[in-house]
Amino acid sequence: MLVELLCLLVFSVRLAHYAKVIPRDKFWKDPKNICIIVVLLLTLTDMIIYGGLKAANCYSVRWSRVLRPLLLINVTEGRQLRRAFRSIRNALPEISYVFVLFIFSVLIFSLMALKLLSKRDLKTIEGTPYFTNYLEIVFELYVLVTTANSPDVMMPAYNKSSVFAIFFILYILINTYIFMSVFLAVVFNNYKKYLKEEIQQLVRAKRHKMARAFGVLQEQKEEGGQPVVSHENWNKLVRQVRPDISNAHKELLWRVCDDDNQGFIGGSNITTQRGNGLECMP
């Protein structure tokens, strides 16, 4: 708990520092900041309750532990995690349709197994009644989709008659090989689609920031000419923003920006975004 308290202190200091460097109204409108504050308060409350109950020799559970991933998702360095989380969240509606069909198939097969085997007085290897409870059948067949209990789950019925093996073979073919393949394909396609949209939004945001940066740094190369960013001003910007950057890295960035070797960056370099032009400014 001392280590956890230290971690909470680190997150609190980070949050307080972030609140001082941005406008207050923008800070309180950001749901990520609100989420971090709520998680910190709930975790601190849980620690106090847990410590008090332990001191009184009462049983207690640390229920706030499930909230810890929210801290990693909402911190500034968690952009990639948030992007993946949003892609999963957006893909869930399409995935749920296939999942509902899969559960419906398991329920139907469980009902068929109940009608086929419940009245045949079969026993498991432990001597308990075999396939007489519907909920237990649903659970056993759900596990069978992973083949974790195969072929043990079908042996009492198979020992009674080998014909019952056809039921389990059909179940595995439909639910394990067909439904799971369809489910995997739907998950992959939808996740890829929404991840692509996230990347497109990121590219658009980078282009917008590049255009704003160009608007700040631009100058008139000649009277009546197009606005440009000269190599001299670009070098000043790099020395100001990234004083520790190496000359080779700086030269590489400039060559990416000025791929035509014109000695300046024109507006077309920003709007067309050729090559890796998104990274040409530090």
Q: What is the pLDDT of residues 82-137, one digit of tens each?
A: 877 877 888 888 888 888 999 999 999 999 999 999 888 888 888 888 999 999 99
Segments of the chain assigned E as strands? 219-220, 227-230, 264-266
Q: How far apart are the first and last CA of the chain?
A: 41
The pLDDT of residue 24 = 85
pLDDT at 76 over 70: yes
| Triad 77, 82, 84: Cα angle to 5° | 125
pTM over 0.75, yes/no: no
Residue 22 to residue 70: CA distance in whole angstroms: 22
User: Residue 228 class from Cβ within 10 Å (0-12 exposed, 13-18 middle, 19+ buried)?
Assistant: buried
Residue 233 to residue 243: CA distance in whole angstroms: 14
Residue with tokens 């990234």: 242
Q: What is the percent of the chain with per-residue pLDDT over 70, rounded to a whole number? A: 92
The pLDDT of residue 224 = 60
- The two tokens of residue 82 are 């948030």
The pLDDT of residue 245 = 84
Tell me the torsion sign for CA atoms 100, 174, 160, 146: negative
pLDDT at 225 over 70: no
Tens of pLDDT, residue by residue over 128-181, are 889 999 999 999 999 999 889 888 899 999 998 889 999 999 999 999 999 889
Cis previous bond, 31, omega within 30? no
The pLDDT of residue 81 = 81
User: What amino acid occupies position 211?
Assistant: A
Tens of pLDDT, residue by residue over 231-279, are 888 888 888 888 888 888 888 888 887 777 777 777 665 555 444 444 4
Residue 29 to residue 6: CA distance in whole angstroms: 27
Residue 135 to residue 150: CA distance in whole angstroms: 18
Helices (H) and strands (E) in the chain, counts: 12, 3
pLDDT at 227 over 50: yes
